[in-house]
Amino acid sequence: MKINTTKNHEFLQFIEDWLAQLKTLRVAELAAFGDEIAIVSVDLLKGFCDFGPLSSPRVANIVVPTTALMTSLWQYGVRHILLSQDAHDANAVEFSAFPPHCIRGSAEAETVDAIRDLPFFNQITILEKNSIASDLNVQLSEWIHNHPKVKSYIVVGDCTDLCTYQLAMFLRASANEHQVERRVIVPADCVATYDLPLEVASAAKVMPHPGDLLHAVFLYHMALNGIEVVAGIHAK
């Protein structure tokens, strides 16, 4: 297959312009329906933010805006806060595609300190997973089933093109399948993915991962599927 680089360059410029005009939502607008809102954070773990083979400063940079969003939502009365987190088996099959990471009970599998230090952390629901797909964890499906009043899900975390994408698409597709009215919102300033340049990947003999490109393309693809991608959700 030959890629038309000229047309794709035009499309990438379109995506860049699209990202630049994303709207910002206000917490107060959403929190007026507090019982109908949930925020689900994916993999804001030490193994992706602080240390380990898959840690990334790009991912670490979303911790502050994400905790700020959680705090603002809590102050406005939103109580449905969930953390979907890797807690891998030591012999996880996934390690054939990615280096061993975030093994259950390890320091890498711990929630980042900024979230753990939130005064309401003990009231947050933690859902462990063993793959990039949060929906394969039966606990998440059970939670959704047991909270039918929740009509809006805010999805944050990492990585934009992996676990975050899988979760947002599941929430959107499952609602479509079952004729459920559901709003799925992804604030771009609270999601991120790692960057592995071509030259670094080639030297290490692994697959490259252009972070800016994949972040942008997957945000666009989520929007293409009916997910509400916004610049951010801010208190003011």
Return the pLDDT at 120: 99
Per-residue pLDDT of 151-204, as tens digits, reads 999 999 999 999 999 999 999 999 999 999 999 999 999 999 999 999 999 999
Those residues whose C-beta lies under 8 Å from the C-beta of residue 82, and which sit 6 or more positions away, are 38, 39, 40, 41, 124, 125, 126, 127, 140, 143
Residue whose entry in the numeric block shows the structure tokens 């899988």: 166
The dotted CATH code for 24-234 is 3.40.50.850
pTM: 0.97
CA-to-CA distance for 68 and 200, rounded, in angstroms? Answer: 34
Among residues 203, 172, 205, 201, which one has the least CA distance to residue 186?
172
Q: How confident is residue 2, by pLDDT bands cut at 50, 70 and 90?
A: confident
Among residues 162, 166, 163, which one has the least CA distance to residue 174?
166
Q: 92: which 2 tokens?
A: 């996880």
Q: Where are the domains of the chain?
A: 24-234
Among residues 113, 230, 86, which one has the least CA distance to residue 168?
230
